[in-house]
Amino acid sequence: MAEFIGAPWSVIGDPSGRTKLRRLARAAWLCLMEARPVVQVVFVLRYVVGVGLAIDQPVNLLHVALGALAWWCAIVFAYLINGVMDVEEDRHNGSRRPIARGDLALPTAGVFTAALALAALGIAWCVPGLVGWVAVFLALGWAYSASPFAAKRHSTSCAIVVFGLGWTSYAAGVTAAGGDMGSAVPVVFASVMAAWMALVGAVVKDLGDAEGDAAAGRRTFAATRGPQAATRLALLGAVLVGGGAPVAAAIWAPEAVPGAAVLTVGAAWVTVECRRLRRSKQGDRGARRSAYRAFMLTQYAANAVMLVVLATH
């Protein structure tokens, strides 16, 4: 293990072909685990919903498949570079992801990060109109975690970047399917889902990590004001999105109402979890992540409902 951790290029220079392939496969697997599979899935789901929003016209399945591969590479890039840049915070917060626990070397992860960015751009060139969205997503992923921006360090900049990461995922799916992001349904649904990420997810994700984030110098709302104050901000975001999403959909994109309505239910759930946390005064890290779990499951449900609506339309 020590040899693997300390020698990022050993996966290339090992004299034994089988050993080299095993190490390369292990490094790739650890990179995938570092990049948070649950989050990868929901980002791909956003792309798939985007494709569904454009299926009222002929779709080139090869373009859709290549677009999905390019987008997945971009997603893994964004979350792998986040793991590389967040190692101090993750260790403070007791993370068990591969970099934090010492199973994946930072230089090794860096090599894979660069390769993923190049792969995402290269594959995207094969899909008309997609490379621009991929480039924007890669730039946002970099800006979220790395210098000179490191948007993760402040709640406002974090929310802005997170909104962009969500919105572009839907736009990429629409574009790969040959659709137009100028129409009402894609714009409204992408916007309300991205708002859910920015105003709710970007806040509740920090509730369980406030101490480690503060120790690493982050200036998020949870790190500077504490989890109790952050829950109030999350409650406000949940009310705004949960109340506003179905109204916006009803006015401008009635087809998106079922998916948007799920956010209202999810907002109520997040509210319950936040109020429970506030009553508990502090709670352990697991308890403080309950609102984040509610946020994540709501995302899955809203996108799944929208897929059903599009499939039966």
Amino acid in position 269: W
Cis peptide before 148 (omega within 30 of 0): yes
Q: What are the beta bridge partners of residue 219?
A: 154
Which pair of structure tokens corresponds to residue 143?
């800006």
Kindly write down the DSSP assignment for every residue of 122-146, as one continuous string.
HHHTTSTTHHHHHHHHHHHHHHHHS
CA 272 to chain centre: 24
Task: Compute the Cα dihedral for 149, 150, 156, 159 and give only its sign.
Answer: positive
Helical (H) or strand (E) element with 9: none
Which pair of structure tokens corresponds to residue 278?
């506030």
Helices (H), 146-256: 155-176, 184-196, 202-204, 210-215, 221-225, 227-252
**pLDDT of 283 above 80:** no
Model confidence over 163-186: pLDDT tens digits? 999 999 999 999 999 998 989 999
Specify the pLDDT at position 91. 86
CA 177 to chain centre: 22
The residue among 133, 139, 122, 167 whose CA lies nearest residue 81 is: 139
- Min mean pLDDT across 37-51, 208-222, 253-267 is at 208-222
Specify the pLDDT at position 15. 55
